Amino acid sequence: MPVTQPTLLRLATAGSVDDGKSTLVGRLLHDSKSVLADQLDAVERVSRDRGLARADLALLTDGLRAEREQGITIDVAYRYFATADRSFILADCPGHVQYTRNTVTGASTADAVVLLVDARKGVLEQTRRHLAVAALLRVPHVIVAVNKIDLVGFDEDIYTQVASDLATVAFDLGLPDLVTVPVSALEGDNVVDRSARTDWYSGPSLLEVLETLPVADDPSHEEFRFPVQLTLRPQGAARDAAHREYRGYAGQIASGVVTVGDEVVVLPSGRRTTIAGIDTADGELTEAFAPRSVALRLAHDIDVARGDLIAAADHAPEPVRDLFATVCWLSQAPLSKHSRVLLKHTTCTTRAIVSAVDGVLDLDAVQIVPAQDLGLNDIGRLRIRTAEPIAAEPYARHRRTGAFLLIDAQSGQTLAAGMIGDPLAGEGEHADDWDI
């Protein structure tokens, strides 16, 4: 029997204003006993000061002074809660200001998105847009909490209709396995414990869903990718004499599994070698998998540096200088002002030129419409030429090695979140697209 140790699941929330996101997050923190006495005291005190009859759990997620004063959420906040088997990191993304920017940020690292829908309103344009962003960022799991079920009298037909509308949208977007749960964030039904008031619903509570989702893609079904962060070559400064001659390449495994003796290729040079050793400060390993940080020793003395990618020899990407990509524009200043940029892909930063704008994604229709330019929060299709070749691969298949940032060289601002190819296209459709 393998040891059971707690695992880590990263979540992002999404929802329109007033759908009950703060209440739901507060309820998850409260009912999973992640709220401590002094925090709860503060919430009860403030609720009383505001003349409320009971503690407003939404206050648990209150943040900065400006947010409290204006009653809005400005920025992504990170929350932590845990059950016996799992720890959760929740990126709490505000629903209105800078919606796309924040949700893209939260979704980029998420294993699962929890989207709120108001049972009285059903699927709105906003809902489609939230789901489209989750699909675009290839978040492995999407769970929809159909909230305020108490306000529709715990009615089965209303829930079934909303759930089936959601399934249709998810199908259009190619989102696999959409899970829906009827909840009342305010009263706690089906959030942590299953509710007797929805006896027609036989599925798990929201927390039960979150506790049993697989954390991420199984590394044993992925291709091995290892972006080199730096060379460890301590020479005279080595912590012990045995390591004076040591040379290892430090990095975090981006995907897949690596085993001593595996044949690998170093990109962009294309040199082949084998893995001579997998090291950690705790000792050598025979095998390691994503997302572990290790140092790799190679059998041959070849030139390897930061920015290189070590990949499985028989499934390696082709280094390219011309990219077809989908980006979310994050800057106030439009793209036209930034056609010369820095592109950061894994550990490699190179100069780049945006050679063409192909169009903007209409998130409502999920269609590309022609455009000359990209503005804040636009999702667009670009062609980019880089100064150095990069080991690019389609984001649809490789979330880590298919992602990049565009950065303004002068101000240092992050301009765009980039995904190579068309993340919404099914797997296999991308291959021909991208040397256009």
Partner 1 sequence: MNPITETIDDVGCGRLTLSHLDTLESESIHIFREVVAEFERPVLLFSGGKDSVVMLHLAAKAFWPGPVPFPLLHVDTGHNFPEVLAYRDRAVAEKGVRLEVVAVQDYVDDGRLAERTDGTRNPLQTQPLLDGIADHRFDAVFGGGRRDEEKARAKERIYSLRDEFGAWDPRNQRPELWNLYNGRHRPGEHVRVFPLSNWTELDVWRYIGREGIALPELYYAHQRDVFERDGMLLAVGPVSQPRATESVVTRQVRYRTVGDMSCTGAVESDAVTVQDVVIEVAATRLTERGATRADDRISEAAMEDRKKEGYF
Ligand X SMILES: Nc1nc2c(ncn2[C@@H]2O[C@H](COP(=O)(O)OP(=O)(O)O)[C@@H](O)[C@H]2O)c(=O)[nH]1
Tokens of 309: 């990618």
Token duo for residue 280: 């950690």
Cβ distance to partner 1 smaller for residue 189 or 422:
422
Using alpha carbons only, give the angle 30, 36, 39 rounded to the nearest 5 degrees: 90
Beta carbon of residue 364, minimum distance to ligand X (angstroms, whole number): 21
Q: Choose between 25 and 186: whose C-beta lies nearer to partner 1.
A: 25
Binds partner 1 by CB under 8 A, chosen from 47, 165, 413, 425: 413
Work out which of 156, 208, 400, 425 binds partner 1, going by CB under 8 A: 400
Tell which residue, 359, 356, 375, 337, has the closest CA to residue 100: 375
Size of the site for partner 1 (CB under 8 A): 93
Q: Which residues pair with 121 in a beta bridge?
A: none
Question: 211: burial class by Cβ within 10 Å (0-12, 13-18, 19+)?
Answer: middle
Please say which residue, 150 or 308, places its beta carbon nearer to ligand X. 150
Q: What is the DSSP letter of 255?
A: B
The minimum distance between CB 113 and ligand X, in angstroms, equals 15
Cβ-based nearer residue to ligand X, 117 or 403: 117
Check: CB of residue 335 under 8 Å from CB of residue 327: no
Closest distance of CB 60 from ligand X, Å: 10
Regarding 108 and contact with ligand X (CB under 6 A), the answer is no
Per-position DSSP letters for 374-415, written without gaps between them:
--TT-EEEEEEEEEEEE----TTT-TTTTEEEEE-TTT--EE
- When asked if residue 46 is in the footprint of ligand X (CB under 6 A), the reply is no
Site string for ligand X, 11-40 (x = CB under 6 A): ----x-xxxxxxx-----------------
Q: Is 79 in the site for partner 1 (CB under 8 A)?
A: yes
Residue 260 site contact among partner 1, ligand X, none (CB < 5 to 8 Å, cut-off depends on kind): none
- Choose among ligand X, partner 1, none what residue 19 binds, the Cβ cut-off being 5 to 8 Å by kind: ligand X
Q: Binding partner 1 by CB under 8 A: which of 20, 55, 57, 62? A: 62
Site for partner 1 in 191-250 (CB under 8 A): 211-216, 218-220, 229-230, 232-234, 237-240, 243, 246, 250
Task: List binders of ligand X among 130-189 (CB under 6 A).
Answer: 147-148, 150-151, 184-186
Q: How far is the CB of 13 from ligand X (least distance, A)?
A: 9
| CA 271 – CA 266 distance, rounded (Å) | 5
Closest CA to 91 of 79, 81, 104, 108: 79
Site map for ligand X, 359-398, x if CB under 6 A? ----------------------------------------
Binding to ligand X (CB under 6 A): which residues in 61-100?
95
Of the pair 104, 304, the CB lying nearest partner 1 is at: 104
Structure-token pair, residue 304: 């390897």
Find out whether 11 and 215 touch, Cβ atoms under 8 Å: no
From the list 36, 28, 61, 60, the residue with the least C-alpha distance to 209 is 28
Residue 410: partners with Cβ closer than 8 Å, 6 or more residues away: none
- The C-alpha atoms of residue 323 and residue 418 are separated, in whole angstroms, by 11
Q: What is the DSSP letter of 418?
A: E
Among ligand X, partner 1, none, the one that 145 touches (CB under a kind-dependent 5 to 8 A) is none
Residues 345-384 that bind partner 1 (CB under 8 A): 346-347
274-333 residues near partner 1, rule: CB under 8 A: 279-289, 291-293, 295, 306, 330
Closest contact distance (angstroms) between CB of 388 and partner 1 is 16
Q: Of 166 and 424, which CB lies nearer to partner 1 in the complex structure?
A: 424
Instruction: Give the residue from 100, 130, 193, 195 showing the smallest Cα distance to 156.
Output: 195
Query: How many residues form the binding site for ligand X (CB under 6 A)?
Result: 17
Residues 6+ apart with CB under 8 A from 315: 223
Of 110-129, binders to partner 1 (CB under 8 A) are none
Cβ closest to partner 1, residue 165 vs residue 208: 208
What is the 8-class DSSP label of residue 68? H
Binding mask 11-50 for partner 1 (x = CB under 8 A): -------------------------xxxx--x--------
Angle of CA points 280, 282, 285, to nearest 5°: 55
Residue 63 makes CB contacts below 8 A (sequence gap 6+) with: 73, 74, 75, 77
Q: What is the rounded distance in angstroms from the CA atom of residue 44 to the CA atom of residue 40?
A: 6
Which stretches of the chain bind ligand X, using CB under 6 A? Answer: 15, 17-23, 58, 95, 147-148, 150-151, 184-186
